[in-house]
Amino acid sequence: MDLKDQLKNLFPDHEPSPEEAIEQVAHELYVQKEPMICKFEKRKGKATTIIEGYEGTDEDFKILAKEIKTKLSVGGTFKDDSIIIQGDYRDKIMTILKEKGFKVKRVGG
């Protein structure tokens, strides 16, 4: 007996209402004119890639950080208006950002 049958037994007079289709609008990221900075640093002896210079909202930057981390399958964080990615992925990150329409500037090495 599934859930619908159990609910019918408990509430025989109830008729389910038709479900409304909910339209989901894709979130648009703010694409800026100034280039974002993609740089390489060593922190505590480990390589990190840092992305700075986004002028949009923090929520958009967090969404962008999550997309980059999932596409590269790496760890990272969003802290102090910058995305910190574990490892040296400057080239891959720059191609991802350029595909989204951002201008990216490589700094350091």
pLDDT in tens, 3-49: 888 888 888 887 767 776 666 666 677 777 788 899 999 989 999 99
SS3 109: coil
Beta bridge partners of 82: 52, 79
Q: Which amino acid is at 77?
A: T
Please state, in angstroms and rounded to a whole number, the distance separating the CA atoms of residues 64 and 57: 11
Q: Is the pTM of this model over 0.75?
A: no
Element (H, E) at 84: strand 82-86
Q: Mean per-residue pLDDT for 63-72?
A: 91
Q: What is the mean pLDDT of residues 57-86?
A: 90
Phi, psi angle pair for 7, to nearest 5°: -65, -35
